[in-house]
C-alpha cells in the first residue's frame, strides 16, 4: 500500500453491498437477481502514518549564510532551528536531535522553535527533527531530513609578527630569539573587514591594548630583558551588528638571549717585569653592549650593522689606521 509496514488491522465500519446472480441465455441478463448484504469494513494502520516533518534554520541577526557544504553560522550569533509538520493530528511533540545532545518541545500549532544563544563550536554538527504523536492507541514518529550546520568566525584570524630596528632578532630552534638590550616591536594586523576595533596584546607578564589604525597596531618594547620572554597573542576586538566580536592570532613564543658579541673596551695596558725578568701584560677591560674599541679602532653597533672610527685617548699619537674602515 506504500505506507510502510502494517501496525494493526482493527475492524472497520459496516457497509452495505449487493450481489448480482444471472443464468440462461443472453436475454436473461436483463432479468438478473440482486441480493443486498451488510459487509464489514477493514481498517489498516500503517507505520508511516505521519508525514515527514520539515526542519529549517533562522537567525534574527543575519549571521547565517549558505556555505559550500550547507548552512554556516557566525560564531557568537543567536540562531533558531524550527521543526514543523502538516496538521494531520492534534498535539504531539518534537524531538530535536543533534551531535552533542537532544531537546524536546511540545508541538504548538504543529511546530516548535529551538533557540540557541551565542553559537560556538559545540553547536556544529548534524540536526534532525523527529515528530512524535499518540494516534489510534499507538505511538508514531516521523523524522525530517538532516541539517548540517558549520560554525565559523565573523572576524578573520589576525596576524602577529616581530620586528626590530637593530637587527637583534634571529630564528632559534624553538622560534624567534631576541638579544638582550635590543628594542623590538610586536605588530598585530588584520584584514580590512570592518572599520575601527582594537588590538589586545596578551603576553606572559601582562596585557596591553591599542586602537586599530589602518587595521593594525604596533607595540614597542625598549631594551629587551628576561621579563619579555614568553608567549604573545594578538586579539582583535570589534563591535559589529550591535555585538562584540573577537578573533585570536596564533601564538608567538619569544626567547631572550645574550648578545653573541661580548663587546669590551681596552682601557689600560700595563707592562710588568718581575725579578725573574719575565714579561707580563696587564689589561683593564670595560664591557659595553653597543661599542667596542680594540687598539686604535672603535667599533659601534648601529641600526642595520656596524660602523668603525679611530679610537683615541688623550695620549694617543698613532694615526696609522684610517677612520673609514668597514668591518
Q: Extract the C-alpha cell encoding 306.
A: 656596524
The pLDDT value recorded for residue 45 is 55
Confidence of residue 299 (pLDDT cuts 50, 70, 90): low
Q: Pick from 250, 233, 253: which is nearest to 175 by CA?
A: 253
Query: Could you give the angle at the alpha carbon of 72 between the alpha carbons of 149 and 245, nearest 5°?
Result: 120
> pLDDT at residue 261 above 80?
no
Query: Domain spanning 159-257: which CATH class is it, in words?
Result: mainly beta
Residue 309's pLDDT is 72
Identify the pLDDT of residue 316.
47
pLDDT, residue 322, reads 42
The confidence score (pLDDT) of residue 231 equals: 94
Sorting pLDDT into bands at 50, 70 and 90, what band is 323?
very low
The pLDDT assigned to 38 comes to 56
CA 91, 92, 94 angle in degrees (round to 5)?
135
Whether 258 contacts 180, CB under 8 Å: yes
Instruction: Give the Å distances, CA to CA, from 70 to 79, 124, 151, 208.
Output: 15, 12, 11, 39
Per-residue model confidence (pLDDT) at position 275: 58
According to DSSP, residue 108 is labeled: B
The residues, ordered by sequence, that sit 6+ positions from 83 with a Cβ below 8 Å of its Cβ are: 53, 54, 55, 94, 96, 111, 112, 114, 129, 131, 144
pTM: 0.50
Q: Determine the pLDDT at residue 265.
A: 45
- All structural domains of the chain with their residue ranges: 6-46, 54-152, 159-257, 264-310
Q: What is the pLDDT of residue 130?
A: 96
Percent over 70 (pLDDT), the chain: 64
**CB atoms < 10 A from the CB of 204, how many?**
12
Query: Measured between alpha carbons, how far is 109 from 84 in angstroms, rounded to an integer?
Result: 9
142 or 303: which leads in pLDDT: 142
Tell me the average pLDDT across 250-278: 64
| Average pLDDT over all residues of the chain | 77
Least confident of 186-195, 235-244, 266-275: 266-275
CA pseudo-torsion sign 146, 151, 152, 155: positive
Q: Give the residue-averaged pLDDT of 251-271.
A: 65
pLDDT of residue 326: 45
- Dihedral sign for Cα 54, 55, 58, 63, please: negative
Report, as an integer, the average pLDDT of 29-53: 65
* CATH class belonging to 54-152: mainly beta
- For the residues 15-25, what does the mean pLDDT come to? 60
**pLDDT at 267 exceeding the cut of 60:** no
For residue 25, the model assigns a pLDDT of 60
Q: Which pLDDT score, from 0 to 100, does residue 327 have?
A: 46
Return d(Cα 128, Cα 143) in angstroms, integer. 7
Q: Give Cα 182 to chain centroid, integer Å.
A: 34
The 10 Å CB-count burial string (b at 16+, else e) for 182-200 is bbbebbbbbeeebeebbbb
Span 55-111, pLDDT tens digits: 999 887 777 777 777 888 888 888 999 999 999 999 999 999 998 789 999 999 999
Please give the share of the chain, as a percent, with pLDDT higher than 90. Answer: 39
Residue 242: the pLDDT is: 74
More confident residue, 132 or 303: 132
**Does the pLDDT of residue 223 top 90, yes or no?**
no
Q: Which of 163, 216, 211 is nearest to 190 (CA)?
A: 216
Please tell me which of 1-10, 28-37, 259-268 the model is most confident about, judged by mean pLDDT. Answer: 28-37
Residues 6 or more apart from 72 whose CB is under 8 A from it? 64, 65, 66, 149, 150, 151, 152
- Burial (0-12, 13-18, 19+ Cβ within 10 Å), 129: buried
Query: What is the pLDDT at residue 325?
Result: 42
Distance CA 323, CA 309 (A): 5
For 56, 57, 66, 126, 203, the CA distances from 149, given in Å and listed in that order, are 11, 9, 10, 6, 34
Amino acid at each position: 500500500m506504500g505506507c510502510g509496514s502494517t501496525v494493526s488491522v482493527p475492524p472497520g465500519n459496516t457497509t452495505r453491498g449487493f450481489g448480482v446472480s444471472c443464468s440462461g441465455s443472453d436475454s436473461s441478463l436483463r432479468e438478473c437477481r440482486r441480493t443486498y448484504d451488510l459487509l464489514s469494513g477493514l481498517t489498516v494502520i500503517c507505520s508511516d502514518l505521519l508525514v515527514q516533518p520539515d526542519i529549517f534554520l533562522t537567525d534574527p541577526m543575519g549571521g547565517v549564510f549558505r556555505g559550500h557544504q550547507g548552512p554556516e553560522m557566525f560564531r557568537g550569533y543567536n540562531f533558531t532551528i524550527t521543526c514543523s509538520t502538516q496538521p494531520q493530528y492534534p498535539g504531539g511533540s518534537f524531538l530535536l536531535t543533534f551531535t552533542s545532545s537532544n531537546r524536546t518541545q511540545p508541538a504548538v500549532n504543529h511546530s516548535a522553535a529551538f533557540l540557541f544563544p551565542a553559537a560556538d563550536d559545540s553547536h556544529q554538527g548534524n540536526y534532525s527533527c523527529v515528530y512524535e504523536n499518540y494516534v489510534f492507541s499507538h505511538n508514531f514518529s516521523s523524522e525530517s531530513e538532516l541539517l548540517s550546520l558549520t560554525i565559523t568566525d565573523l572576524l578573520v584570524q589576525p596576524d602577529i609578527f616581530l620586528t626590530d630596528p637593530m637587527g637583534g632578532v634571529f630564528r632559534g630552534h624553538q622560534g624567534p630569539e631576541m638579544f638582550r638590550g635590543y628594542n623590538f616591536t610586536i605588530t598585530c594586523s588584520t584584514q580590512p573587514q570592518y572599520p575601527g576595533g582594537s588590538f589586545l596584546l596578551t603576553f606572559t607578564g601582562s596585557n596591553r591594548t591599542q586602537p586599530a589604525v589602518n587595521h593594525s597596531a604596533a607595540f614597542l618594547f625598549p631594551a629587551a630583558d628576561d621579563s619579555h620572554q614568553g608567549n604573545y597573542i594578538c586579539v582583535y576586538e570589534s563591535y559589529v551588528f550591535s555585538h562584540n566580536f573577537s578573533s585570536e592570532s596564533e601564538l608567538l613564543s619569544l626567547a631572550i638571549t645574550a648578545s653573541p658579541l661580548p663587546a669590551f673596551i681596552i682601557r689600560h695596558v700595563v707592562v710588568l717585569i718581575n725579578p725573574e725578568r719575565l714579561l707580563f701584560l696587564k689589561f683593564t677591560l670595560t664591557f659595553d653592549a653597543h661599542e667596542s674599541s680594540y687598539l686604535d679602532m672603535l667599533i659601534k653597533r648601529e641600526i642595520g650593522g656596524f660602523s668603525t672610527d679611530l679610537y683615541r685617548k688623550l695620549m694617543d699619537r698613532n694615526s696609522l689606521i684610517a677612520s673609514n674602515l668597514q668591518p
